[in-house]
Structure 1
Amino acid sequence: MSTRRPSRPVVVGVDGSHAAVSAAVWAVDEAVRRDVPLRLTCVVDGADDAGSAARDLATAEIAVRECIVAIETDRTPVKIEVEIRQGDPTAVLIEASRSAVMLCVGATGREHTPGAALGAHIGELTSAAHCPVAVIRPDSSALDTSGVVAEIDDSCDIAAVLEHGVAEARGRHATLSILSTWQPRFTDIHDTQARAAGNRRTRAGLERKLDWLRRKHPDLTIKMAAAQGSTTTYLHRHAASVDLLIVGRTRRDGLCDLIGSAGHATLIDTMCSVLVCPPRSTL
């Protein structure tokens, strides 16, 4: 008689912040789509005295309960697991990612609560996690439409980005836009004709390179997109229609402009969350 291996959960880092609650609600669909548990993980410091330990535990339980209430309000049935652990929040979540199908955290943390370091150390999580990491903005659920953008460049993460882009777009019944950026010559920065020509040239290159993707997924609407300069410029121009950006961990321009405190400031006028994918060899 064979025994079924335990399902790899979707793990949510809980730290008492509004963004963490949003991450928990966002993660529900990810868990339901995969038919796996949703695990709420809150990490407290190892207090030296019993009184501090008890207070930390009580605060952690409140933070987890806030997430559960929000999930239950959404009325989507999902199996919820709760884990409250002691230690360094970043180290604990990186370890948890070994057995997770996805790790979800809020884009901003909350001071003076268990796991407050999460917001400050998102960069560490995304660079060392053993699974994709979703960094969720606290207002991500306010967007009426659902749009998925997969950014590709000359890094080694293209396969992982496309794989998750297809899965996320299909799960949301959304259009998948595949984005590539290009840099103009200094003399063309403000030349609208040069910008239009550069965009056409970049989109044509994507069409040739990724024709196989459309043929492989004929049921999915896939569009090619180009942007002069940076991905954040594209996101600001399409802020009303994009709620998830998928990027590779080793993207050419790094991650600082998309996640952590710098990313939060850059994307302050958008509701776009970010899914960071490690190379397929580490998934």
Structure 2
Amino acid sequence: MKHHVTVGVDGSPESRAAARWGAREAVLREVPLRLVHAVDWLISPSVPAPGREAADRWADEVLTEAEEDVRRRHPGLEVSTRCLSGRPAAALAAEAADAGLLVLGSRGVGCLVGFLIGSVSLSTLVATETPVVLVRESDAPEAAQPTRYGQIVLGVDIHEAADKVLAFAFEEADRRGCALRAIHGWKMPSMYQYAPFFDPENEREIGRTITVMLDEMLMPWRHKFPSVCVTHEAFEGPAPEQLVRAAASADLIVVGRRLRRSPLGVHLGSVAHAVLHHAAAPVAVIAHG
């Protein structure tokens, strides 16, 4: 069983936000927190010794700062640190293998609300099957110990069996004692674009059918987590747009990504990609088969 929460830190404001979020999550789960830093260059005999020493000092400072911050906020939390060597994305993905959750920071896009997914974060995200949460630095004042958690928004694809995604969302809502809002976006079949006569009732009937399918998909999880208050909505329109809009008032947004590779490399689905770039709330990306 995987017991700890791992956070990648690099000294940036975004990584500090990730460390604080990860610490709160570790407290909720009643598990240790592990802070890790990956040296962002290849250490080889060709690198002068002063350069390696500077990298080591920087790593120590980054880890010490993050550790002191989370210990000050959560005195009873078990915290450990680890410095990794090698390419950051590969090192972080390997470190995440025995973790229950990996938390990373993401940069905001200028004055726009959103995520700028750097190459390290994206490469790490698609290289691990461990759930990953990306946290954006917030301009709002942060309480050390929030007394109440907001709702969790879950993006659901009724055409895929994604039990890992559903399990993560329900478990998070259960441990937070907060509501869960499940959202599915759909569009009319393309053949209706060429129909000479379009009956609006067909559209309404499709919407009702999809809503029933969504409800049936959630039903076993409602029985498993009876204390979680669940609402569900099926919207006609792009799923990312609805999820991003819902995330404005959410504590966490949960989306899935399929475990698949193409000849050009790893693949991140369009919904997860769009949500990661534009959602204001932390985003949990859950890999599933």
TM-score, length-scaled by structure 2: 0.76
Could you list the per-position Cα deviations for residues 112-162 of structure 1 after superposition, in whole angstroms to 9, with x for gaps in the alignment? xxxxxx932322222221311111111297698522122221234x10011
What is the distance in 1 between the residues matched to 2:137 and 2:201? 38
Q: Which residue of 1 aligns with 2:13?
A: 18
1:155 lines up with 2:155 in the alignment: no
Letter in 2 for 1:215: H
Indicate which of 166, 173, 176 corresponds to 2:177.
Answer: 173
1:205/1:72 Cα in 2 relative to 1: closer, same or farther (>3 Å)?
same
Distance 1:234 1:195 in 2: 19
Query: What secondary structure, in the 3-state scheme, does the structure 2 residue paired with 1:278 have?
Result: strand
Structure 1 residues 213 and 257, CA gap change in structure 2 (3 angstroms) = closer
Higher strand share: 2
Among candidates 228, 235, 242, match of residue 227 of structure 1: 235
Identity %: 26
- Residue-by-residue CA offset, 1:186-229 (whole Å, 9 max, x unaligned): 789xxx99987765543332123322322222211011122333
Q: Amino acid of the residue matched to residue 119 of structure 1?
A: G
Which residue pairs with 1:129 in the alignment? 128
Say if 1:224 and 1:232 are closer, same or farther in 2 by CA, change over 3 A.
same
Greater C-alpha Rg: 2
Task: Report the secondary structure of 1:249's partner residue.
Answer: strand
Q: 2:243 touches 2:275 (CA, 8 Å); kept in 1? A: no
Is this contact kept in 1: 2:149–2:177, CA < 8 A? no
Aligned partner of 2:97 in structure 1 is 98
- Quick one: which amino acid aligns to residue 173 of structure 1? G
Q: Contact 1:227–1:233 (CA<8 Å) still a contact in 2?
A: no
Are the aligned partners of 1:136 and 1:274 in contact in 2 as well (CA < 8 Å)? yes
Cα distance in structure 2, aligned partners of 1:142 and 1:159: 35
Q: Distance in 1 between matches of 2:244 and 2:58?
A: 37
Instruction: Work out the CA distance in 2 between the residues paired with 1:198 and 1:69.
Output: 55
Instruction: Give the match's secondary structure for 2:118.
Output: helix
Shift of 1:263: 5.5
- Aligned Cα root-mean-square deviation (Å): 3.3
In structure 2, the residue matched to 1:112 is none
1:239–1:98 Cα change, 3 Å: closer
* Aligned 8 A contact 1:246 1:276 in 2: yes
Q: Distance in 2 between matches of 1:193 and 1:123?
A: 43
Normalization by structure 1: what TM-score? Answer: 0.78
Cα distance change on mapping 1:128 and 1:91 into 2, 3 Å? same
In the alignment, which of 259, 265, 288 is matched to residue 279 of structure 1? Answer: 288
